[in-house]
Structures are given as C-alpha cells and as structure tokens.
Amino acid sequence: MNAEKQKAVQALKTATGQMEGIIRMIEEERYCIDISNQILAASAQLKRANLLILQQHMNHCVKTAIENGNGDEKISEIMGILSKIMDR
C-alpha cells in the first residue's frame, strides 16, 4: 500500500471513531451544537480520505494510462468525480 492509501485509511479510521463518538453523543442527548461540530469534523476526515485516494489515482493510474497513450478514459473518470464534488 502506498503512502496516499495509508493516509486515506488512517483518515477513514479517524472518521469511524468520530462517527462512533457522534452516535454516543446523540444517545446521551448531548448538546446539538457539539454534535454538529463533531459531524463536521467527521465529514472533513471523509473529504480528506477522498482527496488522498484521488491523488493516488492521479499519481499512479492516470499517469500510467497517459504514458501508455490511453488516458482519455481515466481523465473522464476524474472529471465525473469532480463534477459530483462540485454539485455538493
């Protein structure tokens, strides 16, 4: 596993822990603003993991495809993901 994927896994593990904590906070009827702040923090970890995975994809899969003269499909895939990100 390369460095980008390792960092993505760590970000996802952090988000998992945060999600478990958020569930406990809701069950304990904690203050809504505190819960919301934790949801934002978990969301940031998910975004970070996604960025790291996309970085890995660009640095390896897309780069290799372009070097082999067939990068159009990979570029289209990236554009599809970017359009989903932009729609949010």
Which domain CATH number covers 78? 1.20.58.1000
Whole domain around residue 7: which residue ranges?
3-87
Q: Is the pLDDT of residue 88 over 70?
A: no
* pLDDT tens, position by position, 26-66: 999 999 999 999 999 999 999 999 999 999 999 999 999 99
Say how far apart CA 21 and CA 34 lie, in whole Å. 11
Total-model pTM: 0.85
Cα–Cα distances (Å) from 38 to 4, 44, 61, in that order, read: 24, 10, 34
- % of the chain exceeding 90 in pLDDT: 90
* DSSP assignment letter at 68: T
Q: What is the pLDDT of residue 15?
A: 96
| Total structural domains within the chain | 1
Q: Is the pLDDT of residue 17 over 90?
A: yes
Q: What is the pLDDT of residue 4?
A: 87
